[in-house]
Amino acid sequence: MEKTTAKKRKPSTKKSPVSKAKATRKTAVSKSTTSKSRVTPKAKATSKAAASKRTTTKSRVTPKAKATKKAASSKRTTTKKRVTPKAKATRKTTHKVAKKQVPVTTNEPVTTDEQFNLNSWLLPTLDLEQYEPNIEEEMGIKDDIIGSTRYAWIGAGQCGGRLAKSFYDLGYKKVLAVNTTHHDLDLLDIPKGQKYLMDIGEKGAGKDMERGKKAVQQNQQEILHRVRQTFGAQVDHIMIGFGAGGGTGSGSVVGLIEIAKRYARYIGLKNPNKNVGVVMTLPTVGEASSPLVAENAYRVASELSQMASAGEISPLIIIDNEKINKMYPGMTVKSFWPSINNTVGSLFDIFNKLSALSSPYTSFDPVDYHSIMESGNCTIMGLTKVTNFSDKFALSEAMKTNLEKTLLAGGFDLTTAKLAGCIVVGGRKLMANVQGLQDNINYAFDVLSEITGNATIHRGIYEDSRDCIRVYTIIGGLDSPTARLEELRNHVSVTVG
């Protein structure tokens, strides 16, 4: 029993070379990491010797050092080995020193000689930042008009080109004429850059709607580019004008509608269906005697009427050449088309201008005007002059005549109207001196409401320097003129039969 006890006590009394080396190394680490502590010459020498051994490559290692290294490695990798009290104390001291070296994250900013800037690392400065992008809104051609709505016009074919020219002369400079023959384009007195030839390798469409359709399909991207270049981005409403019966206009109008909608979406208009409209002229009876013309007119008029009824375009304005021919039989050949186109353009223009003006009486404001133009289906406009303004019924009768004398197509059922506008413009002296004039104007408004099936009536009363009274009427949301379309269909049936 005594011999066994003595043998067990020997390892604890005599330090092994491994323990001695370990203690020496830990003591050196503890002394080197402790800030502002007294360092003995012996510790300095030990630290220098240890650093020299770490940095020297391929240095001679003594057998005793090898044994020490193996023993140290064995102790690091062996788990749950008995640790002497002295080693525990040494390890605790090492941990405490190590904790002093690691910066503790707190709410206080870290103050070091080389402070790390997180924002600078995540958000570096780029070279391109010194070059600001030059973003300018596309202006396009500048208009010479003052109105509540900025219009752009696309004229297709011969008739559409003439109509676009009329609006150009009124100050609506954002116009583009497209055609399949350069002969019609050459006759238009508008800038060359606002004419586009849809070259299909043939001299015009020759009243063949399929050629007109093919022309716009082949050139749609180029037309869209020219539209953007000419109109810019400051546009509220796009109108397309053409003559029903021909090949270029009738065949290309649906494709041009789609191009106009693409452009409307590009410039940010929220509802292109309400911001793209059509002005269509119907052929005279003499022109419709041709089976091809009558068929073309009926086909395209029926298709556009369906689109307008479905809310895919707004508005659809129909001009009846036959009605104009009967109303103005004495006009010369030279003055006929320019006069008609200028009258249509001026009538269209007057509502746009008046809706941008304030009135000391009652204003027909932009919201009223836009609600009519965006109401879908068909729209008609008219004007008449009143001289007997003292008669109570004079204004109301003039307004009825107004709707009959309009250059637009007949055959509309006015009771299907959704919205209407009636604007009375009188001289300043008349407004100030004629007794009962306000009552007469109110009565005319009431009559219009009855005629249109109690549609919403937007009113406007303005004054100017003339010695007369003019009544302007616009009615929107009308069903298509089925009676007039049936006449065209009958021409097709009779001709073919």
Q: Which of 156, 32, 23, 146 is nearest to 91 (CA)?
A: 23
* Domain spans of the chain, in order of start: 138-362, 378-479
Q: What would the pLDDT profile of 13-66 be if each residue is shown by its tens digit?
A: 444 444 444 444 544 444 444 444 444 545 445 555 444 444 444 445 555 555
Q: Which of 417, 467, 460 is nearest to 148 (CA)?
A: 460
Q: What would the pLDDT profile of 353-404 be if each residue is shown by its tens digit?
A: 999 999 999 999 999 999 999 999 999 988 888 888 778 888 888 888 777 6
CA dist 260 and 269 (Å) reads 11
Q: Do the domains spanning 138-362 and 378-479 agree at the CATH topology level? A: no
Q: pLDDT tier at 120 (50, 70, 90 boundaries)?
A: low
Q: Which of 477, 394, 486, 378 is nearest to 443 (CA)?
A: 394
Report the CATH number of the 138-362 domain. Answer: 3.40.50.1440
- The CA-atom distances, in angstroms, between 245 and each of 253, 290, 293, 345 are 12, 9, 4, 21
**Residue 446 and residue 410 in contact, taking contact as beta carbons nearer than 8 Å:** no
CA dist 95 and 90 (Å) reads 9
Q: pLDDT tier at 492 (50, 70, 90 boundaries)?
A: confident
Report the CATH number of the 378-479 domain. Answer: 3.30.1330.20
pTM of the model: 0.71
Report residue 233 as tokens.
């981005």
- Three-class SS string for the chain? CHHHHHHHHHHHHCCCHHHHHHHHHHHHHHHHHCCCCCCCHHHHHHHHHHHHHHHCCCCCCCHHHHHHHHHHHHHHHCCCCCCCHHHHHHHHHHHHHHHHHCCCCCCCCCCCCCCCCHHHHHCCCCHHHHCCCCCCCCCCCCCCCCCCCCEEEEEEHHHHHHHHHHHHHHCCCCEEEEECCHHHHHCCCCCHHHEEECCCCCCCCCCCHHHHHHHHHHCHHHHHHHHHHHHCCCCCEEEEEEEECECHHHHHHHHHHHHHHHHHHHCCCCCHHHHEEEEEEECCHHHHCCHHHHHHHHHHHHHHHHHHHCCCCCCEEEEEHHHHHHHCCCCCHHHHHHHHHHHHHHHHHHHHHHCCCCCCCECCCHHHHHHHHCCCCEEEEEEEEECCCCCCCHHHHHHHHHHHHCCECCCCCHHHCCEEEEEEEEEHHHHHHCCCHHHHHHHHHHHHHHHCCCCEEEEEEEEECCCCEEEEEEEEEECCCHHHHHHHHHHHHHHHC
Whole-number pLDDT of residue 453:
87
Half-sphere exposure of 188 (CA within 13 A, CB side): 33
Q: Which of 269, 255, 377, 403 is nearest to 314 (CA)?
A: 377
Q: Looking at residues 179-203, what average pLDDT do you find?
A: 91
Report residue 460 as tokens.
């406007």
CA dist 16 and 124 (Å) reads 58
Whole-number pLDDT of residue 395:
86
Percent of the chain with pLDDT over 70: 70
